[in-house]
Amino acid sequence: MLIQASLQPVRETREKQIQLWKELILDFCRTQKIFTIGLEEDFSLFSNPGIENIILFKTIVILIVGHLMSDHDTAGSLSHEAKEAFLSALVSEGRAEWLDKGHRKCLILWHRIQDWADLILRFVKDNGFEDSVMTVEEIRSGVESRGTELHGMDRTILMRALKQLEHKGKLAIFKGTSADDEGVKFSL
């Protein structure tokens, strides 16, 4: 059966639908390491006819597919209104930010910036980098970060977390000649 999801007309059901989709979006983005979602772009969670088979790891999918989807006429895609409502709800909770004024692209914060900062500190301590210098690129794509949530993270989010730590006196950021050679001196 082909399904299209739209926002539910009954307020209580719509609120539950939005809550479930917020959790689903954050979990999906975290497990897939997705940091941006475009409303006009193909995003498998929003437009996948086999959605039930891809994200069965969440029991809420049963609720979403079984109880919260309607309008059986378009192959497995969310309505634009639903996509925007789900992302706007994440924005209002500080779990996402619109990247443009037209609300077409969204930065997903599956960890809040403070949580990313805490992960960076834990990474530094766990690896003995307390008084070390690293490049920003080493933090997000170096050998040491492999197997951690920091590996492959969005550069914008990483820089915001590092600036928060710099403000707290935990590190100093050094500008390089290019973005690839910006450095960080940890002082924990």
CATH code, domain carrying 15? 1.10.10.570
CATH (domain of 155): 1.10.10.10
What distance in Å separates the CA atoms of residue 179 and residue 124, rounded to the nearest whole number?
21
Q: Are residues 9 and 92 in the same domain?
A: yes
Q: One-letter amino acid identity for 18?
A: I
**Helix-, strand-, coil-residue percentages of the chain, each rounded to 5:** 45, 15, 40
- Please check the confidence at residue 128 and state whether its pLDDT lies above 80: yes
Q: Are residues 45 and 95 in the same domain?
A: yes
DSSP for 162-177? Answer: HHHHHHTTSEEEE--S
Instruction: Give the residues across from 38 on adjacent strands.
Output: 105
Q: Are residues 14 and 73 in the same domain?
A: yes
Which pLDDT band, with edges at 50, 70 and 90, does 35 fall under?
Answer: very high
Q: One-letter amino acid identity for 179?
A: A
Q: Are residues 159 and 131 in the same domain?
A: yes
Q: How many domains does the chain have?
A: 2
Full domain range(s) for residue 14: 4-108
Domain boundary among 108, 124, 146: 108
What tens digit of pLDDT does each residue of 71-120 get? 333 456 788 888 999 999 999 999 999 999 999 999 999 999 999 999 99
Mean pLDDT of all residues in 167-183: 88
Q: Are residues 126 and 92 in the same domain?
A: no
pLDDT at 72: 35
Query: Under 8 Å CB-to-CB from 25, ≥6 apart: which residues?
Result: 37, 45, 86, 87, 90, 108
Q: Are residues 80 and 146 in the same domain?
A: no
Q: Residue 96: which H helix or E strand, with range?
A: strand 96-98
Domain boundary among 60, 85, 108: 108
Domain boundary among 49, 81, 108: 108
- Please check the confidence at residue 30 and state whether its pLDDT lies above 90: yes
- Average model confidence (pLDDT) for the chain? 84
Q: Are residues 100 and 117 in the same domain?
A: no
Q: Are residues 78 and 170 in the same domain?
A: no
